[in-house]
A and B are shown apart, each in its own frame.
Chain A
Amino acid sequence: MKSFRPAIHGWLLLLPAAAFLALFTHYPAVATFWHSFFSTPKGNRPARFVGLMQYETMLDDPIFWIALGNNLVFAAATIPLSIVLAIVMALWVNEKIAGRGLLRLAYFTPTMLPMIAVANIWLFFYTPDYGLLDQIRGLFGLPAWNWLGSRDTALMCLIVVTVWKEAGFFMIFYLAALQQIPPDLGEAASIEGAGRWYFFRRVTFPLLMPTTLFVLINAVINAFRLVDHVVVMTRGGPDNTTSLLLFYIYEVGFKFWDIGYAASLTMVLLAVLGLVACLQFFYLDRRIHYQ
């Protein structure tokens, strides 16, 4: 009987947060799952049960496959790049260098800016002729280039913007983790003759693994959740080369008003994210040392 009371206490304390989570996260997810088996209501035709038809449509939808492919490329590029950059920056600003407070702030600034502002800054960089990039190209006598309007470079441009924005954010987590590592480990290693790279590989990086897992999950979710930059910078163009999953869902749902199909696309996105999260937790988690 006694042991119940703390449990009840705990549940009561969790209740408000749990209620809001259920209302705004769990219920919509379940509702979406439910809607994905129905047709989209149109005018006087109400939604009716269509089973897996929406999912069958998806298999034959070339734009869905393009968006999925784009998203995979986007994730495969942004995640490792931003993590590596974050670690490098964190190691750098963790050193005893003059003005490191300023440097930390500088690296963190992109994260503090609103997404739309970031997108606008980079729109200027990418502008043909007048943009920063083309002005630099001009110095070398190279012709103007339509960065965002070209099929070859549009997705790459989005990737650069995302890495630029995410790396500073992840750096903060790495910096916090680095400061948890006692300095005498480095001293012990230096007495044994370990170089900086060896020490990083054998000690620092393994000790950063819990942070890396956390950052990795965040990075994956962000990669599949990105929509703002696409809306502001390219609107999925040219020729769907920058259409990412969430942007496609947004178009299907709120431009073509095909609610049923959007629901089934959302389920696919959720499934992808769930799968990745499971993999990370159950596979990586076992190989990580927690202090």
Chain B
Amino acid sequence: MSRIVVSDIVKDWGGTRAVDRIGFVAEAGRLLVLLGPSGCGKSTTLRLIAGLEEATAGRIEIGGRDVTRLPPAERRIAMVFQSYALFPHLSVAENIVFGLRVRRVDAAERARRLKRVAELVGLAGLLERKPAQLSGGQRQRVALGRAIIAEAPVCLMDEPLSNLDAQLRHEMRSEIRALQRRIGMTMIYVTHDQTEAMTMADHVILMREGRIEQQGTPEDLYTRPASAFAARFLGTPPMNLIALDSVRPHLPPVASEGALLLGVRPERVTLVASGVPALVEAVEYLGADTVIQCRIADQPFAARVPGHAPVGVGDRVALAWDAAEQHLFRKDGGARVESAPPERTGKRPAANAR
């Protein structure tokens, strides 16, 4: 099947390096998400895989074939553009079968596939319309239809849902995921929306400034963020990060050297009778749960507690969390520090000390 192997690719734009030695593997039939803030090089990476840009260095393999120097047409991929890239003068049907016409698929086969795809993406009644006569969500589905009718083993998507409203986005998310599973295609999906990444991905690649910050399953990234950046990027509200020293007196002893940040997910924090003292600044009631925005030693800290919380702005509360839910990061650089049990400090293997 179509496994994608990207090894050490680099892309320079004049002086700036948009993609800096990135390497990863997208397993066949899986959905891989490229996640990261704006400008981190997600689109560039995707376009390198599609062949729309030429890599400065590195190697790209699709289905065991080295495609690094092949033009897009020979990479056997389909792509959904962020802008949809629909042909404005062609009807929905003609847009969808564009690639089949290029490849001279005969008319009967074309009609058969069009019918199936139109039903799949829910456009059966709109085939004669022009793109300008469609809503954003419908256009997006045309773009999707054009990508899947090719039955290419690989599908690349660049923020295909970024222009949709929350409701539609939610629907399309599960539609794309279901489709990808049904057809069994290898998909690389670019987004800067962590919810999309968490809900859809088999494997997430978190990028930052052209490099991979962390990769793994959504669960890996959520439960063991490799850096302060990764910790803040996933989860809503994002993980609390405060100076360890400011709360040390209230916690069981933590062995560590240097200045550290303590990270705790808001949803792991509970309100208790005695614990870390905090001042309530705002209370956001969300129905199923409540986000309490507090300050601990003048640093922002959020707690997400189930149901309705009996606190008001200005209250003094006490917060607590399980020691197992604590994450430690270096203050400079933000790298993760494993909190070793106290008795093992000082007995580190020599190899680590270098």
Contacts and interface: CB of A to CB of B under 8 A. Distances in A.
Contact of B102 (A184, A194, A207): A194
Nearest to A192: B99
A179 interface: no
Contacts of A291: 88, 132
A29 interface: no
Nearest to B158: A184
B292 to A, nearest CB: 45
A198 B85 CA distance: 17
A188 B81 contact: yes
B73 A289 contact: no
A2 B146 CA distance: 50
Interface string A181-207: 010110111111110001000110011
Contacts of A191: 50-52, 72-73, 77-79
A189 B99 CA distance: 8
Interface in B48-102: 50-52, 71-73, 77-79, 81, 83, 85, 87-90, 98-99, 101-102
A206 B85 CA distance: 16
A189 B95 CA distance: 10
A187 B81 contact: yes
Contacts of B77: 191
Contact of A185 (B50, B52, B87): B87
Interface residues of A, number: 18
A129 B150 CA distance: 63
Nearest to B103: A193
A182 B150 CA distance: 23
B89 A206 contact: yes
Contacts of B130: 289
- Of the listed residues A187, A188, A193, A206, the one surrounded by the most CB atoms of chain B closer than 10 A to its CB is A188
A189 B89 CA distance: 14
A188 B101 CA distance: 14
Contacts of B150: 192
A97 to B, nearest CB: 17
Main DSSP-derived SS at the A contact region: helix
Given A190-B73, A193-B102, A289 B79 contact: no
B103 A207 contact: no
A188 B79 CA distance: 7
Contacts of A289: 88-89, 130
B21 to A, nearest CB: 25
Nearest to A181: B88
B35 to A, nearest CB: 22
Contact of B98 (A184, A187, A189): A189
B72 A190 contact: yes
B7 to A, nearest CB: 22
Interface string B25-59: 00000000000000000000000001110000000
Interface in B270-306: none
A182 B85 CA distance: 8
Contacts of A190: 52, 71-73
16 contacts: A188-B81, A191-B73, A192-B73, A192-B99, A192-B146, A192-B150, A193-B103, A194-B73, A194-B102, A198-B102, A202-B87, A202-B98, A202-B101, A203-B89, A291-B88, A291-B132
Per CB-CB distance, the 8 closest pairs between chain A and chain B, nearest first, are: A192-B99, A289-B89, A193-B73, A184-B85, A188-B85, A191-B72, A194-B102, A206-B89
Interface of B: 50-52, 71-73, 77-79, 81, 83, 85, 87-90, 98-99, 101-103, 130, 132, 146, 150
Interface of A: 182, 184-185, 187-194, 198, 202-203, 206-207, 289, 291
Given A184-B85, A202-B87, 10 more contacts: A187-B85, A188-B79, A191-B50, A191-B72, A191-B79, A192-B99, A202-B98, A202-B101, A207-B88, A289-B88
